[in-house]
Amino acid sequence: MNMNLNYFPIHFDFSNYQIITKPYSDDLLEKLRLKYNNWYSFFRYDDLIVVSNKDDDDNQLTGEVEQRSVFEDNRVTSSLVKHIFFRTFKGFVPVDFYPFRFYSRQEKDDLILSFLPESLKHKISFKKLIEVQLRETNINGTKGFAFVVNIRRNWVFNISCKELAKEGFDLTDFEVLHAEVLPGLDNILAPNEEFVGTLHAIKGDTALVYTNEGEKNYPLDKLFIRKTRKNIQEYLNFAIGQQKSELILSAVRKEQISRQNPEHLLKEITRIAKYLFSEQGEPILFQNKDGFCFKVDTTPLKVQNSTSLETPTFIYDQARTKTNNYNADKGLSYYGPYDSVTFDIKKPDVLAICHKANRGSFTKFLHDLKDGLPNSNYFKKGLLRKYELQDVDYNIQELSGYSLDEYLKIIRTEFSDRPNLAIIEIPEQFKKLPDSENPYYKIKAKLLSLEIPVQFIRSSNIKKYDQNLLNSVALQIYAKLGGTPWVLPAQGSVDREIVIGIGHSWLRSNQFRGAESDRVVGITTFMSGDGQYLLGDKVKDVPYERYFEELLISLKDSIKRLSEEYAWQEGDTVRLIFHIFKPIRNVEFEVVSKLVQEISQFKIKFAFVTISKGHPSIIFDASQQGISKYGSNTVIGKYIPLRGSNIFIDEETSLVQMLGAKELKTSKHGMSTPIQIRIRKPQGNYENPELKGMLFHDLNYITQQIYSFTYLSWRSFLPREDPATMLYSNLISHLLGKMRNVPEWDADKLNYSLKRKKWFL
């Protein structure tokens, strides 16, 4: 199966080339750039300054002439390619040097232009932003370089706060950006914009802004409102009236959806590549005057699946004889849950709270949840028989209103015996409230402090539900009670394997410049190699630079606890796979290697793996013609590869398509991008002989494992884009971040028994 990547290969006619270098110093680099920047590019490489002559026919600069290899000296090659490419396009004023970003100058690429009145055309735009990055590749053992071309659309708002104030637009409490041209980069790079704070008052041509550094004054003509859809809509409401404004923004949204369908996107990207890399049908020769040159393909790179990823087998008993190879739900309905024999809450006591006006709907919902829907395909058995429980005992309590006090009055008074779970009706309006005022978080915090997991149900859902909703709720309830619905086959031949998801939640008061954003809530979730949830633990809220130090204290305690509980024997081989939220530094490899040395009774190997959607790579499959959903005539998913399609970009990086046409819910979704899986390695000239024997770097194994773990969410039966490790740790850290200001809640005292349950689903 041939697919395309939005990569455009770079071709060199040589394997070695010459460069001019000078010994590095900060002072010399600055002087060279000030004096020769019009003709030359300069960049640092270790203790050298590399000099690239782009436009100087007189060869004013000389230095040491050295030989370099295209692929062995890849850092030098990459820098030369980037500098020469940028220098070739002097006519552009980019938004950023790297990734190289610039706005399309064609009027057809401004989606709002045709809808605006003449007075606002080009002052407000919704433009196509083109992004070009350089990527090293090693696909099927062949090394290469390629430009990655991508498109996004951004709001542009060129009306300064001075002009807005003159028009009579009220700027009070608007979040504002300060625009400033960087020294020496006028007409070379777009002005730098910093998000500084909230505009409080205007005096003449000066604005008083509330910032994280106190009240500050800024020239009004250097300030702009943030380019959000909400802010732009508020201005349009003022300038042309709310009715016209809503019509315009609705039309823009429809146009945006039509432009982001995958077939259109591939054509656009290919068209941009032809514009950037060719002239009159011939490839452009990008070159400097030192003999370094290259050409770029104008057709996207053709690729095939790098490996065959398999849907995991779902296992429903400890002897591993009850299995289903296709559908976790069908296997569960037929065999019952994996831990049915050992599960010890066979008669859960459930506190059920609803508004008195909704008691009829609520009790019907509870009945159908417990006993099932007789005519259902997926939920005929109900929670009781599907999960092989003996009974579900509801204690139903009524509210007269949706105030926090009403909920807490019941929670405080109704426990002669503590329930195993609470099912609580909440109204739609809760989700519109600020976190600090939202009863949702305060109720959850109160129940968790009593070690009671909770299942919230919105009022609209108890009045209108179907088999899919009941099926998902029952799955979540069983997991919250501590059950394991199914597991996966353990891979490989190692004795022990722990997969550790590391999630996080930033603690920020706001997003302004200078915000206290260096504190982080850390979460670790531990799963066995077959997908059993072992433990979820919290790391202290600490400054970011101390995060990993605290995390490793937590890891050491958790590994000790698990080794005792599961009777690990001295000399056992243990593999630790860390799924992490950020690229890590060399110091973190050092700390983990020390941890491994401290746990010397086991033979430990480990890997750090990042799992991300924040990357520029897109896979297209022109042979996929899409599918019609639910009898509709609308075809969705055209050009989107099947779930499980994958490319190994290099020895450390794979791309895996998680949402194919079958998994998409609506045509509004547009292009579905793959996740990027990357095994992290120490950077630069890092030397640690002891570490080499500890690292695990089998990309095939890790890619399959992550793919399998996307079938383990237990939020629903549908596979997800992210593996359960990352989903769980991010759900926990998100909830803890929301609840940290709730009185009576102390996440550090989260009971060990609750840490074993999926209370966060």
* Residue-wise pLDDT tens digits, 109-168: 888 888 888 988 888 888 888 999 999 999 988 999 999 999 988 888 888 899 999 999
CA dist., res. 405 & res. 444, Å (int): 14
Average pLDDT over residues 677-689: 77
Q: Which residues contact 92 (CB under 8 A, 6 or more apart)?
A: 102
**Residue 506's pLDDT band (boundaries 50, 70, 90)?**
low
**Residue 190's pLDDT band (boundaries 50, 70, 90)?**
low
Q: What is the pLDDT of residue 258?
A: 74
At the topology level, CATH places domain 496-612+677-755 in Nucleotidyltransferase; domain 5 (3.30.420)
Q: What is the pLDDT of residue 455?
A: 95
Which of 427 and 503 is assigned the larger pLDDT? Answer: 427
* Residue-wise pLDDT tens digits, 301-330: 999 999 999 999 999 998 889 999 889 999
Percent pLDDT > 70 in the chain is 88
Q: What is the pLDDT of residue 543?
A: 64
> Per the structure block, which two tokens stand in for 612?
């991300």
CA dist., res. 719 & res. 33, Å (int): 53
Average pLDDT over residues 621-627: 86
Average pLDDT over residues 546-554: 72
Q: What is the pLDDT of residue 420?
A: 93
Q: What is the pLDDT of residue 504?
A: 65
Please determine, for residue 577, whether its predicted confidence score (pLDDT) is greater than 70. yes
Question: Is the Cα torsion angle 270, 275, 279, 280 positive or negative in sign?
Answer: positive
CA dist., res. 173 & res. 199, Å (int): 5
CA dist., res. 427 & res. 614, Å (int): 34
Q: What is the pLDDT of residue 753?
A: 66
* For the chain, domain boundaries: 3-303, 344-480, 496-612+677-755
CA dist., res. 19 & res. 124, Å (int): 46
CA dist., res. 9 & res. 580, Å (int): 31
CATH number of 344-480: 3.40.50.2300
Tokens 């001075």 appear where? 162
Least confident of 89-93, 96-100, 282-286: 89-93
Which of 364 and 601 is assigned the larger pLDDT? Answer: 364
* Residue-wise pLDDT tens digits, 92-108: 677 777 788 888 888 88
DSSP-based three-state secondary structure for 76: helix
Q: Which of 104-108, 157-161, 425-429, 569-573 is modeled with the greatest confidence? A: 425-429
Q: What is the pLDDT of residue 28?
A: 93
Distance in angstroms between the alpha carbons of the first and the last residue of the chain: 37
**Residue 256's pLDDT band (boundaries 50, 70, 90)?**
confident
Q: Which of 167, 155, 85, 151 is nearest to 125 (CA)?
A: 155
Q: What is the pLDDT of residue 273?
A: 95
Q: What is the pLDDT of residue 538?
A: 63
Q: What is the pLDDT of residue 6?
A: 96
How far, in Å, are 110, 243, 261, 355 from residue 156 at the CA level?
10, 22, 23, 47
Q: What is the pLDDT of residue 213?
A: 76
Q: What is the pLDDT of residue 124?
A: 87
Q: What does pTM read for this prediction? A: 0.87
Question: Is the Cα torsion angle 712, 715, 719, 722 positive or negative in sign?
Answer: negative
Triad 207, 208, 210: Cα angle to 5°: 130
Q: What is the pLDDT of residue 38?
A: 84
Mean pLDDT, rounded, of the chain: 85
CA dist., res. 299 & res. 282, Å (int): 13
Q: Which residues contact 245 (CB under 8 A, 6 or more apart)?
A: 233, 236, 237
Please determine, for residue 183, whether its predicted confidence score (pLDDT) is greater than 60. no
Please determine, for residue 16, whether its predicted confidence score (pLDDT) is greater than 90. yes
* Residue-wise pLDDT tens digits, 330-347: 999 999 999 999 999 999
DSSP string of 602-632, one letter each residue: SEEEEEEEEEES-S---EE-TT---EE-TT-
Q: Which of 283-287, 582-586, 633-637 is modeled with the greatest confidence? A: 283-287
